[in-house]
C-alpha cells in the first residue's frame, strides 16, 4: 500500500468517523403478493442491531454508523434474504421474501407474521393462520372452530347453515367479513360454509372491540376472512373427494406481467349430496280408520322410530370464480387492485330448526352474485399520510321456494297430497325471487404525526336494495287489487364514521393505547303484511331513520419481551336487520320502533410467548370478558298467535378463554383452547307493558357455555426415513350440553330441550413429495362415529366419513 492509498483510506476513515450516524429504513414485502410483511426482522449481520417491521411492513434501524454492512431480512415461514449496503447517509432498502417451500410442514408457533401482528394489538384479536390447515379438507367455518371463544354451530354436511357465536353472542351480533367486506352484502353465494381452506390466508377474530377500519355495527366483534392473494407466477390446484358424493376443487393462479402489473385468477367449486344417515328418526305413516262419528274418511297418522334413515333432499352445490388485476408502485397509487367475481349456489333444504317427523322434501334456496371491487392505497409525505379506499358493487339474486303439493316422510314415501300448494317450513307457501343489489364503500385517511402518534379517520357506507316477486304469497285488497310485498323495494343505508388515535408511550414503545369513536346512521324502508289481509286499500310501508354514537379504547403494555398485557372497552351497537324490523310477511309482525342492540364490552387479558429450549417453545393467552348487552332483540309473542321482534331485555355475559400452544421445532405442535362463559338476563325494558318480568338471573337460551378443542400436528420425519414426508393431524372438539330454553334461577330445563354433550374428532395423514409440488392427505371426520352429534338443536350431523385431498403446485 503506497502513501496515496494509505492517505486516501485515512481520509476516508476520518470522514466516516466524523460523519453523523444514519438510519437504514425500508419495507419488507411478501414476494408472492407484494404486500407489506409485518413482524419481519431486519438485522445487521454479525450484530444485535436490527428492527421489526410494523403493520405496514416498514422498519427503521436508527443511528447506524456509516460503513459497509450486510442486512438480513427474515420472517418465519419465509426464505431469508440478505443485501449488501454501504451506508453513508440514510438509505432505503426494501426486501421481498419468498415463502418457504416447507411452509406446510414447518411447525411454527408464530406462523405467518401478519397473523402474529394481528394478535399483538391493544384490542383482543385472535388470528388463525389457515396455511397450517391447508392440507386438511375443511372450510372457513372449520377454521373458525379452532379458536377460543368461537362456537360454530352447523346444521349438517357441506354447505349446511352455520351460525357463529362469539363471546356468548350470536346471530347478527357477530359480523363476518370477507377481505373487509361485510358478508351480508355479498350474498349467500360466498359464505363461511363453502369457502374452502385453500382459498384462505388467515382468519382474524376481533373479540368485543373492532377497530374503526375493519368494523361496522358489530355487537360482539367480528370475523374477517382474509383470502389468499398471490401476484407472482404461481399455479395451484386442489381436489378433494369423499363420502356422500362430495367433491371440492380450488384453483389459484397468478401471473406477474411486470414489476408493476400482475393478474390473478381464483376459483372453487363444491358439490355434495350430503345423503348421510341418521338414527332415531320419527317416520310417519298414515292410514284410514272407520269413521264412527261423522262421514267421510278419517285418517290416522302413526309414528315409528327408524335408524339409518338416509337424507334425500340435501344437495349443496356452489361455484365461485374471480379475476384480479393488481397494479403497484405507481405515481398515483402504492397499490391499486380490481377484482370481478361471480358466485352461484343452490341448497336443497331437508329440515327446519330441528329434525322432527316433518320432512322438508321440496324447499330450496338459490343465490348468485356478480361482484366488482376496487382497492386503493397511497401514502404521501414520506409515508406520513395514508389514504385508502375499498369499493364494492354487487348485483345479487336470491330465491327461496317453499311450496309443495305432497308431504313425504323420512323414507321418501308420500303420506299426504293436497290440491293447493302448502309450505314445508314457513306459514305460507312462498316462491320469493328477488334481486339484491348493494354497494359498499370504505375510505380511510391516516396521518402519522410521529412514530408514536397516528390519527385515523374512516367512513363506511353501505346501500342495499332488494326487490322482486313472490308469486305464491300475494295479498288481495277489498277492491280486488293484487299486492306483492316482495315487489316493493326494500331499501337500507348504513353509514358508520369513525375516528381513532393510536399512541405509543414509554421507552421502547412499551405502552400502546388507542381511543376511538364511531357514529352510526341507518335508514331502512320496506313493506310489511297488512294487519287485516281481507280489508285493506294500500300495502303498508314503513321507514326507520336512526343514529347512535359509540366509542372505545384499548391499552397494551409489554413489560418484557414476549409478555403482553392488554385491556379494552367498546360501547358497541348492532343495527336491526330487515326481517327484524319489517317481519316476515306471515306471522312475524313489523316493529318499526325496534332499537339497536347495544353492548358495553370489556376485555382484559395477557399473552406470553416463551422459548423454553432451542427447540421447544410455547405461547399462552388468557382473556376475560364482560358483555353488558341491552335491548337484546328477540322474537316475542305479539297479539294472537303472532309475534314480532322486540327489545326483549338486558343480558350480561361473563367469560374467560384460555389458549396454549406448545411446539417442538422438529416434529410436533399441540394446541388447547378452552372457553367458559355464562350469559344471564339482568333486566327488562321499561315499556314492556307486561308488568314485572321477574326472570332476572335466568340463563340466556341456546348458548353453549363451556367448550374446548385440542389440535395436534405431528411431523413423522423423526420416526421414519426423512425421505418420507408424512404429517399426522388430529382435532378434537367438545361442547358441554346446553339447553335451547331459559331456565329460572332455581329451576332446570326439561330433558328434551338439551343439545347433549358433543364430542367430535377428526384425524388424518398428509404426505408431501420431496419437491413439495404435490401434497396428498386423507382424513376421517367424526372418527368416533358419534351418531348423536348435533351442534345445532337436534339436527343430526354426519357419522364417520372420509375425505381425501390432493394439492398440486406448479
Beta-bridge partners for 133:
none
Q: Which one of residues 237, 253, 457, 586 is an interface residue with another protein (CB under 8 A)?
A: 586
Would the CA dihedral through 738, 744, 745, 746 be positive or negative? Answer: negative
To which residue does cell 374428532 refer? 761
Q: How far apart are CA 145 and CA 164, in angstroms?
A: 9
Q: Which one of residues 615, 741, 769, 774 is an interface residue with another protein (CB under 8 A)?
A: 741
Phi, psi values for residue 553, rounded to 5°: -155, 165
Q: Is 523 in the site for another protein (CB under 8 A)?
A: no
To which residue does cell 428492527 refer? 51
Binding pattern to another protein, positions 710-739, x when CB under 8 A? -----------------------------x
Number of residues that bind another protein (CB under 8 A): 80
| Least gap, CB of 312 to another protein (angstroms) | 21
Q: Is 639 in the site for another protein (CB under 8 A)?
A: yes
What is the DSSP-derived secondary structure letter of residue 169? B
63 Rama class: left (phi>0) / alpha (psi -120 to 50) / beta: left
| Least gap, CB of 362 to another protein (angstroms) | 15
Q: Is 750 in the site for another protein (CB under 8 A)?
A: yes
Q: How far apart are CA 238 and CA 138, in angstroms?
A: 12
Q: Is 658 in the site for another protein (CB under 8 A)?
A: no
Give DSSP secondary structure letters for 428-445.
Answer: S-EEEEEEEEEEEEEEEE
Residues 374-403 that bind another protein (CB under 8 A): none
Q: Is 474 in the site for another protein (CB under 8 A)?
A: no
Give burial (CB, 10 Å; 0-12/13-18/19+) of 523. Answer: middle
Q: How far apart are CA 112 and CA 668, in angstroms?
A: 17
Give DSSP secondary structure letters for 542-609.
Answer: EEEEEEEEEEEEEEEE-SSTTEEEEEEEEEEEEPPPHHHHH--SSSEE--TTPPPEEEEEEEEEEEEE
**CB contact at 8 A, 77 and 116:** no
| Least gap, CB of 743 to another protein (angstroms) | 5
The smaller minimum CB distance to another protein, of residues 296 and 614, is found at 296
Q: Which one of residues 695, 786, 788, 809 is an interface residue with another protein (CB under 8 A)?
A: 695
Neighbours of 82 (CB within 10 A): 11
Q: Is 591 in the site for another protein (CB under 8 A)?
A: yes
Q: Is 293 in the site for another protein (CB under 8 A)?
A: yes
Among residues 735, 777, 739, 738, the alpha carbon closest in space to that of 760 is found at 735
The smaller minimum CB distance to another protein, of residues 21 and 750, is found at 750
Q: Is 427 in the site for another protein (CB under 8 A)?
A: yes
Q: Is 753 in the site for another protein (CB under 8 A)?
A: yes
Q: Is 752 in the site for another protein (CB under 8 A)?
A: yes
Q: How far apart are CA 162 and CA 194, in angstroms?
A: 10
Q: How far apart are CA 69 and CA 180, in angstroms?
A: 40
Q: Is 303 in the site for another protein (CB under 8 A)?
A: yes
Neighbours of 612 (CB within 10 A): 10
The smaller minimum CB distance to another protein, of residues 398 and 582, is found at 582
Among residues 529, 386, 544, 408, the alpha carbon closest in space to that of 470 is found at 529
Q: Is 286 in the site for another protein (CB under 8 A)?
A: yes
The smaller minimum CB distance to another protein, of residues 295 and 450, is found at 295
Q: Is 479 in the site for another protein (CB under 8 A)?
A: no
Cell of 796: 343430526
Kind of pairing between the strands at 95-97 and 22-30: parallel
**CB contact at 8 A, 350 and 356:** no
Q: Is 688 in the site for another protein (CB under 8 A)?
A: yes
| Least gap, CB of 551 to another protein (angstroms) | 29
Give the full edge-to-edge strand order of the sheet including 200-207.
125-129, 200-207, 221-227, 174-178, 181-182
Residues 765-794 that bind another protein (CB under 8 A): none
Strand boundaries in 614-724, DSSP class E:
616-637, 643-664, 668-683, 706-715
Residues 534-563 that bind another protein (CB under 8 A): 534-535, 540, 542
| Least gap, CB of 753 to another protein (angstroms) | 6
| Least gap, CB of 34 to another protein (angstroms) | 50
CA–centroid distance for 7 within its chain: 66
| Least gap, CB of 480 to another protein (angstroms) | 13
Q: Which stretch binds another protein (CB under 8 A): 68-76, 223-231, 292-300, 669-677?
A: 292-300
Q: Is 690 in the site for another protein (CB under 8 A)?
A: yes
The smaller minimum CB distance to another protein, of residues 277 and 693, is found at 693
The smaller minimum CB distance to another protein, of residues 293 and 482, is found at 293
Q: Which one of residues 113, 318, 601, 702 is an interface residue with another protein (CB under 8 A)?
A: 702
The smaller minimum CB distance to another protein, of residues 289 and 482, is found at 289
To which residue does cell 372438539 refer? 733
Residues 603-632 that bind another protein (CB under 8 A): 632
The smaller minimum CB distance to another protein, of residues 620 and 636, is found at 636
| Least gap, CB of 330 to another protein (angstroms) | 51
Q: How far apart are CA 195 and CA 225, in angstroms?
A: 10
Secondary structure (3-state) at 389: strand
Secondary structure (3-state) at 4: helix
Q: How far apart are CA 128 and CA 702, in angstroms?
A: 26
The smaller minimum CB distance to another protein, of residues 276 and 681, is found at 681
Q: How far apart are CA 641 and CA 205, in angstroms?
A: 40
The smaller minimum CB distance to another protein, of residues 536 and 573, is found at 536
The smaller minimum CB distance to another protein, of residues 542 and 624, is found at 542
Q: Which one of residues 163, 365, 474, 587 is an interface residue with another protein (CB under 8 A)?
A: 587
Beta-bridge partners for 524:
492, 544
Q: Is 301 in the site for another protein (CB under 8 A)?
A: yes
Q: Which stretch binds another protein (CB under 8 A): 126-134, 321-329, 524-532, 559-567?
A: 524-532
Residues 309-368 that bind another protein (CB under 8 A): 356-358
To which residue does cell 330441528 refer? 354
What is the DSSP-derived secondary structure letter of residue 179? T
Q: Which stretch binds another protein (CB under 8 A): 55-63, 190-198, 583-591, 730-738?
A: 583-591
The CA distances from residue 109 to 106, 223, 650, 663, 665, in Å, are 10, 22, 40, 6, 9
Q: Which one of residues 740, 776, 778, 784 is an interface residue with another protein (CB under 8 A)?
A: 740
Neighbours of 10 (CB within 10 A): 11
Length of the chain: 810
Q: Which one of residues 2, 48, 258, 295 is an interface residue with another protein (CB under 8 A)?
A: 295
| Least gap, CB of 191 to another protein (angstroms) | 26
The smaller minimum CB distance to another protein, of residues 591 and 727, is found at 591
The smaller minimum CB distance to another protein, of residues 82 and 543, is found at 543
**CB contact at 8 A, 172 and 574:** yes
Residues 494-513 that bind another protein (CB under 8 A): none
| Least gap, CB of 104 to another protein (angstroms) | 45
| Least gap, CB of 243 to another protein (angstroms) | 30
Residues 666-685 that bind another protein (CB under 8 A): 681, 684
The smaller minimum CB distance to another protein, of residues 367 and 598, is found at 598
Q: Is 700 in the site for another protein (CB under 8 A)?
A: yes
Q: Which one of residues 345, 529, 664, 801 is an interface residue with another protein (CB under 8 A)?
A: 529
Q: Which one of residues 641, 721, 722, 810 is an interface residue with another protein (CB under 8 A)?
A: 641
Amino acid at each position: 500500500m503506497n502513501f496515496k492509498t494509505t492517505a486516501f483510506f485515512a481520509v476516508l476513515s476520518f470522514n466516516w468517523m466524523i460523519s453523523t450516524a444514519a438510519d437504514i429504513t425500508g419495507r419488507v414485502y411478501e414476494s408472492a403478493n407484494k404486500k407489506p410483511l409485518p413482524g419481519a426482522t431486519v438485522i445487521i449481520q454479525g450484530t444485535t442491531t436490527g428492527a421489526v417491521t410494523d403493520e405496514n411492513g416498514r422498519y427503521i434501524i436508527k443511528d447506524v454508523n456509516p460503513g459497509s454492512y450486510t442486512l438480513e431480512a427474515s420472517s418465519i415461514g419465509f426464505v431469508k434474504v440478505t443485501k449488501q449496503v454501504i451506508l453513508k447517509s440514510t438509505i432505503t432498502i426494501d426486501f421481498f421474501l419468498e415463502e418457504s417451500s416447507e411452509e406446510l410442514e414447518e411447525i411454527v408457533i408464530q406462523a405467518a407474521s401478519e397473523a402474529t401482528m394481528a394478535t399483538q394489538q391493544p384490542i383482543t384479536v385472535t388470528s388463525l393462520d389457515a396455511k397450517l390447515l391447508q392440507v386438511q379438507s375443511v372450510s372457513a367455518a372449520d377454521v373458525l372452530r379452532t379458536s377460543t371463544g368461537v362456537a360454530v354451530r352447523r346444521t349438517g354436511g357441506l354447505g349446511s347453515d352455520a351460525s357463529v357465536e362469539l363471546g356468548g353472542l350470536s346471530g347478527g351480533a357477530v359480523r363476518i367479513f370477507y377481505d373487509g367486506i361485510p358478508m351480508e352484502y355479498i350474498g349467500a353465494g360466498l359464505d363461511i360454509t363453502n369457502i374452502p381452506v385453500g382459498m384462505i390466508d388467515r382468519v382474524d377474530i376481533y373479540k368485543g372491540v373492532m377497530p374503526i377500519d375493519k368494523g361496522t355495527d358489530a355487537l360482539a366483534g367480528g370475523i374477517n376472512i382474509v383470502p389468499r392473494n398471490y401476484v407472482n407466477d404461481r399455479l395451484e390446484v386442489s381436489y378433494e373427494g369423499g363420502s356422500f358424493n362430495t367433491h371440492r376443487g380450488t384453483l389459484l393462479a397468478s401471473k406477474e406481467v411486470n414489476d408493476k402489473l400482475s393478474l390473478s385468477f381464483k376459483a372453487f367449486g363444491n358439490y355434495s349430496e350430503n345423503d348421510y344417515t341418521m338414527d332415531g328418526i320419527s317416520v310417519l305413516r298414515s292410514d284410514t280408520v272407520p269413521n264412527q262419528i261423522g262421514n267421510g274418511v278419517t285418517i290416522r297418522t302413526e309414528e315409528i322410530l327408524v335408524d339409518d334413515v338416509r337424507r334425500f333432499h340435501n344437495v349443496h352445490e356452489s361455484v365461485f370464480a374471480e379475476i384480479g388485476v393488481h397494479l403497484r408502485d405507481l405515481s398515483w397509487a402504492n397499490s391499486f387492485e380490481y377484482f370481478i367475481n361471480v358466485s352461484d349456489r343452490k341448497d336443497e333444504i331437508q329440515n327446519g330448526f330441528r329434525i322432527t317427523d316433518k320432512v322438508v322434501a321440496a324447499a330450496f334456496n338459490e343465490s348468485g352474485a356478480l361482484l366488482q371491487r376496487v382497492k386503493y392505497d397511497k401514502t404521501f409525505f414520506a409515508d406520513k399520510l395514508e389514504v385508502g379506499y375499498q369499493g364494492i358493487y354487487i348485483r345479487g339474486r336470491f330465491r327461496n321456494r317453499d311450496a309443495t303439493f305432497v308431504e313425504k316422510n323420512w323414507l321418501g314415501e308420500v303420506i299426504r297430497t293436497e290440491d293447493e300448494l302448502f309450505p314445508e317450513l314457513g306459514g305460507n307457501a312462498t316462491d320469493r325471487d328477488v334481486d339484491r343489489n348493494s354497494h359498499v364503500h370504505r375510505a380511510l385517511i391516516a396521518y402519522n404525526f410521529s412514530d408514536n402518534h397516528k390519527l385515523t379517520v374512516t367512513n363506511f357506507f353501505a346501500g342495499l336494495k332488494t326487490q322482486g316477486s313472490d308469486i305464491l304469497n300475494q295479498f288481495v285488497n277489498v277492491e280486488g287489487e293484487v299486492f306483492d310485498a316482495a315487489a316493493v323495494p326494500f331499501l337500507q343505508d348504513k353509514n358508520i364514521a369513525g375516528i381513532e388515535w393510536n399512541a405509543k408511550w414509554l421507552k421502547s414503545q412499551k405502552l400502546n393505547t388507542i381511543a376511538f369513536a364511531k357514529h352510526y346512521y341507518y335508514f331502512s324502508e320496506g313493506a310489511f303484511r297488512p294487519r287485516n289481509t281481507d280489508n285493506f286499500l294500500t300495502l303498508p310501508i314503513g321507514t326507520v331513520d336512526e343514529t347512535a354514537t359509540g366509542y372505545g379504547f384499548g391499552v397494551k403494555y409489554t413489560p418484557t419481551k414476549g409478555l403482553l398485557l392488554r385491556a379494552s372497552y367498546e360501547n358497541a351497537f348492532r343495527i336491526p336487520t330487515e326481517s327484524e324490523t319489517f317481519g316476515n310477511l306471515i306471522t312475524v309482525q313489523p316493529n318499526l320502533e325496534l332499537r339497536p342492540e347495544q353492548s358495553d364490552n370489556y376485555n382484559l387479558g395477557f399473552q406470553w410467548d416463551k422459548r423454553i429450549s432451542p427447540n421447544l417453545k410455547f405461547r399462552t393467552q388468557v382473556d376475560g370478558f364482560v358483555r353488558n348487552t341491552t335491548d337484546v332483540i328477540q322474537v316475542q309473542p305479539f297479539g294472537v298467535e303472532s309475534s314480532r321482534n322486540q327489545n326483549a331485555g338486558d343480558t350480561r355475559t361473563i367469560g374467560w378463554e384460555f389458549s396454549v400452544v406448545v411446539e417442538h421445532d422438529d416434529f410436533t405442535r399441540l394446541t388447547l383452547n378452552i372457553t367458559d362463559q355464562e350469559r344471564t338476563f339482568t333486566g327488562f325494558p321499561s315499556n314492556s307493558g307486561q308488568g314485572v318480568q321477574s326472570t332476572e338471573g335466568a340463563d340466556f337460551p341456546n348458548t353453549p357455555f363451556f367448550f374446548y378443542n385440542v389440535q395436534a400436528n405431528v411431523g413423522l420425519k423423526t420416526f421414519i426415513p426423512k425421505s418420507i414426508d408424512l404429517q399426522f393431524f388430529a382435532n378434537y372438539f367438545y361442547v358441554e350440553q346446553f339447553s335451547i330454553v331459559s331456565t329460572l334461577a332455581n329451576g332446570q330445563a326439561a330433558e328434551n330441550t338439551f343439545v347433549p354433550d358433543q364430542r367430535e374428532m377428526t384425524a388424518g395423514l398428509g404426505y408431501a413429495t420431496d419437491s413439495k409440488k404435490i401434497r396428498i392427505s386423507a382424513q376421517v371426520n367424526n372418527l368416533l362415529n358419534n351418531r348423536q352429534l348435533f351442534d345445532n338443536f337436534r339436527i343430526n350431523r354426519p357419522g364417520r366419513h372420509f375425505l381425501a385431498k390432493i394439492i398440486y403446485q406448479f
